[in-house]
Copies of this chain bind each other. A is one copy, B any other.
Amino acid sequence: MEVMKLKKPNIVILGAGYAGMITATRLTKQLGHNEANITLVNKHEYHYQTTWLHEPAAGTLSPDRTRMPINSVLDLNKIKFVKDSVVEIKREEKKVLLQNGEIEFDYLVVCLGAEAETFGVPGVHEYAFSKWTVNGAREVKEHIEYQFAKYNNTPEPQDELLTFIVAGAGFTGIEFIGELSERLPELCAHYDVPKEKVKMYVIEAAPTALPGFDPELVEYGMNLLESRGVEFKINCPIKEVTETGVTLASGDEIKASTVVWATGVRGSSIIDKSGFENMRGRIKVDLDLRAPGHDNIFVIGDCALMINEEINRPYPPTAQIAMQMAEVCATNIKALMKGDSLKTFKPDIKGTVASLGGKEAIGVVGTRKLFGSSAHFMKKMIDNRYLFLLGGPGLVLKRGKSPM
């Protein structure tokens, strides 16, 4: 009879992204085996590194290098893994509806990640690639290669097959076009396509690429990408995505059989569906990372909204902040269980590096600006540091990136 077990609180983590995985590893370390039942719910049996996905999407890295089986990182003797999709959080009933069942919680960690933000532009879901997941990256890669393969098999040359539009010059858009433009010579050679036939556009509604980034770095990045054939259209909102390309606010059309949508993200649609007060799928969390009015529900990662008081704007939804939130969240759950007081969360932004493909990158670390190969080196270090935080030196050795 497992009577004792009933007394253990149920801690349920929703989502195995950066926030969920770090929370899970920290909780399994900090809590003894008899202190709590910890459960992780995730749609797939694997965890993936969202910030690496521009590489498999452009075909410069195998998608398998960007994911790992959850049971290869977490000790499933200490945490229960449920492969299922979250349908709704029943806050008052303290349970979560899943596609194939339901699960009760005493403490809940909501880290369901982000979804593409369309800003109401019609046609995005129908005609653009907007899912930044392993499945989505694989689809973009195969779609691109299929367009190249089709090009020489059409009786009349269809140049739109070789036109690639990236909507949004933020981090994702820039990193993706960096990889694609770097790979272009190889693609052209493999498919017997003249390089001058390929057109790559990055279209951005804001007055600059990489808004908020250092202007000198932005200029370096744009010059580099332009030298590889990328054309920037800045200050240029997209009105609609269609079957044949995009229509700009000006009314002009650019024909393209590939449109990648990367204008930014919103939180998970489950947030709104579950009745939380939210802004674009994000919950403005308390300083201890709990949802307002809920003692036992933590919201971290891309679904959490926190204002940077210095500039009166929200912190961006980054992996870096998600992982820092996870550390505090795990600590606070343990404190709650013991009746201790909770820590407040304060992001500590160590730096930001955007890769540009090949050995190129731009970034800021501390107060230092980095260009080219030193920024590239730092980018690999950041990717490896995450693996270190998640699984220690063993995981870096097994799954890390060579910085050279």
- Report 13 cross-chain contacts, Cβ distance below 8 Å, ordered by A residue: A63-B190, A64-B190, A135-B152, A135-B153, A135-B192, A136-B153, A139-B146, A139-B150, A141-B149, A142-B146, A142-B149, A145-B145, A145-B146
A138 within 8 Å of B (CB atoms): yes
CA distance A139 to B190 in the complex (A): 12
Do residues B149 and A191 form an inter-chain contact, with CB atoms below 8 A? no
**A141 to chain B: which residues have CB within 8 Å?**
149
Do residues B153 and A191 form an inter-chain contact, with CB atoms below 8 A? no
CA distance A64 to B189 in the complex (A): 10
A295 to chain B, nearest CB (A): 36
The 0/1 profile, CB within 8 Å of B marked 1, for residues 112-144 of chain A is 000000000000000000010001101101110
**A190 to chain B: which residues have CB within 8 Å?**
63-64
Q: Which residue of B lies closest to A135 (CB)?
A: B152
The 0/1 profile, CB within 8 Å of B marked 1, for residues 143-173 of chain A is 1011011101100000000000000000000
A260 to chain B, nearest CB (A): 14
**A139 to chain B: which residues have CB within 8 Å?**
146, 149-150, 153
A282 to chain B, nearest CB (A): 24
With A64-B190, A190-B64 known as contacts, the answer to whether A138 contacts B142 (CB < 8 A) is: no
Q: Lowest 5 A-B CB distances belong to which pairs? A: A142-B149, A142-B146, A135-B152, A139-B149, A138-B149
**A136 to chain B: which residues have CB within 8 Å?**
153
Q: Which of A35-68 contact B (CB under 8 A)?
A: 63-64
